[in-house]
Chains A and B, each alone.
Chain A
Amino acid sequence: MIELLAHLGKSTRASFSKLGRATFFLLQCLAGIGSVLPRPRLLLNQLYSVGVLSFLIISISGLFVGMVLGLQGFYILSDFGAEETLGVMVAASLVRELGPVVSALLFAGRAGSALTAEIGLMKATEQLSGMEMMAVDPIKRIISPRFLAGFLSMPLLTALFSVIGIIGGQIVGSGLLGVDEGGYWSQMQAKLDFHDDIINGVIKSVVFGFITSWIALFEGYDAVPTSEGISRATTRTVVNSAFSILGLDFILTALMFGDD
C-alpha cells in the first residue's frame, strides 16, 4: 500500500516536472521565433521537410476520406430523397471535423515522429551540445524554425485535405452515383457558413498544429539520448499528439458549436 502511494507520488512528481520542462521549452521556443524571421532560409527548409513532404499523404488520404463520405452520405441521404444535399454533408463534415482532425493525426504520424527522431538523434550524437559550445543556441537555430514551420503548415495541409476530400466526394457522388453536379456545389455554397464552418475549422487546425509541433519537438529535445530513449520518445509523440488532438477537438467543438 505504502509502496503504491510512493509510486503514485513519484510518477505524479515526474509528470509535473515534465510539464514544467515542456512549458519552459515552449516559452524558449516562442522567444526564439524572433531570430528566425530575419533568416527565412531556415524556415523555408523546414517548411519543405515538414510541410511539402507531407503533401502526398495528406492529398491521398483526403481523397479517400472524401470518397468514402460521398458513398456513405449518398446511401443515407437517398433514403430521404435528399441526395442533392450530399455536397453539404461532405463539405461540412470535412471542414468542421474530419479535415482538421484527420490531417492533424496524419501530420503527427508523418512529420511529428520525424521531428522527434531527428531532434532526439541530434541530441544523442552531441550535435545540440556541440552547437551550444559553438555559441549557437540550438533552440533558436534548430527548434524554433521547425516549430514555426509545423505551425504554419498545419492549416495549409488541412485546407488541402478538405478541398481534395470535397472533390473526392463529388467524384463519387456525381461521377458514380449520379447526384446532380450543380446541386452538389450550389447546396454546399448556400449552406456552408464562412465563419461558423470554415473559420472554426481553421482555428482548430491552428491549435492542432501548435500542439503537435510542440509535443514532437519537446519529446525529441527531452528524449533520453539512447536508441531506446529515442524510440520511446517517437512513440510518445504519436500517442500524446493523438490524445491531445482528439481531446482538444471535443473541447473546441463544444465551445464553437455548443451554444446554438
Chain B
Amino acid sequence: MINRDPHPNTLISVSNLSFSRGNKKIFDDISLAFERGKITAIMGPSGTGKTTLLKIIGGQLFPEQGSVLVDGQNVHQLRRADLYTLRKRMGMLFQSGALLTDMNVFDNVAFPLREHTKLTESMIRTLVLMKLEAVGLRGAYNLMANELSGGMARRVALARAIVLDPMMIMYDEPFTGQDPISMGVLVHLIKALNKTLGLTSIVVSHDVHETAAIADYIYVISEGKVVGQGSPEEIRRSDSEWVQQFMTGAADGPVHFHYPAKDYVDDLLSSGKRY
C-alpha cells in the first residue's frame, strides 16, 4: 500500500480535490498519489473526468477545493511564469495527439526545442531524430500531420512530449481507437520510455487489459470517488462489485445499463408533451 501522505517518493500528490462542471460533480474530495519512476493508471468509465484530472494537474483548470502538488510545488498557486517553467518538465500526450497541422513531423517534434531553447539547427536535428528513432518514426520525419494514421500521430506526439526530457508524462487515453498492432506498440513504448528515461507516468485509460499490463499502481474512479486502488493484481482480486464490473465489462451491475430515467411504463403512457 502506497503512502498517501506527502512522501519523498511521491512526485505528484492530489489532495482533497473537488471539481464540478455546471451542476455535475466531477470529483468529490479525492486524493491520489503518484510515485516517482512508476506508471500509475487512472481508470474509470468514460465521462468520469479522467481528462479533466490531467488538465487540473497541468494547471489548465482550477479545482474548487483541494490542491495539487507537483514536485513540491502547488500548481494552482504558481505565478504564470513559474507554471510555464514547471510545464516544461511535464509532458502530456493528448488523445488526439494535438499535433500542429501546419507543420510536418520533424517540425512538430522540434517545436518545443525551438520555442524554449537556443540550440543550433544541427543540434535540434540530432535531438529530434533521436526522439523519432525512439518511437520508430525517424523515416516519417517528412510527412505532414494529416498524412499520419492515428497511431502514428500519437507516437509523434509522444516524441514531442519527451523532446525536452521531462520528469513526468501524462497519457490521455493512449489506447483508444487503436488497432491491435498500434496498441501493442504504444503499450511497449510507454513501458520502455518510462524505464529508460526514468519518467513518472500517469496513464488515463479505460482499456483494462493494456493498462493493467503496464501499470504499477491503479486507481479506479467512478462518480467522483476513488472506488478501488492497488496493484493490478490487487485490483483484479478486489471484492468491490463496482471494480469487478469494470474489470470484467459486465453490462449491468452497480453501474446500470440504463441512464437514469423516470418509470418506463409511465413514460410510454404519458401525453408525450415535450419537457
Binding site for B on A (CB under 8 A): 122, 125-127, 129-137, 141
Contact = CB atoms under 8 A, between A and B. Distances in A.
Contact of A125 (B98, B116, B164): B98
B245 interface: no
B112 A136 contact: yes
Which size bracket describes the interface of B in this complex? 20 to 34
Nearest to A140: B115
Contacts of A126: 94-96, 98
Contact of B101 (A127, A131, A134, A137): A127
B176 interface: no
Given A125-B101, A127-B101, A129-B60, A134 B111 contact: yes
6 contacts: A127-B99, A130-B94, A130-B98, A130-B100, A133-B94, A136-B115
Given A125-B96, A126-B96, A135 B101 contact: no
Contacts of A127: 98-101
Given A135-B87, A137-B84, A129 B116 contact: no
B85 A135 contact: yes
Contact of A135 (B55, B95, B99, B116): B116
A24 to B, nearest CB: 14
A129 B112 contact: no
Contacts of A133: 58, 60, 87, 90, 92, 94
A131 to B, nearest CB: 8
Given A126-B94, A127-B98, A137-B84, A132 B112 contact: no
Given A122-B101, A126-B96, A135-B85, 19 more contacts: A125-B96, A126-B95, A127-B98, A127-B99, A127-B100, A129-B55, A129-B60, A129-B94, A130-B99, A130-B157, A131-B100, A132-B60, A133-B58, A133-B90, A134-B115, A134-B160, A135-B84, A135-B115, A136-B112
A238 B96 CA distance: 30
A46 B267 CA distance: 57
B263 to A, nearest CB: 29
Contacts of B36: none
Contacts of B138: none
Interface in B59-111: 60, 84-85, 87-88, 90, 92, 94-96, 98-101, 111
Contacts of B115: 134-136, 141
A130 B92 contact: yes
A138 to B, nearest CB: 11
Contacts of B96: 125-126
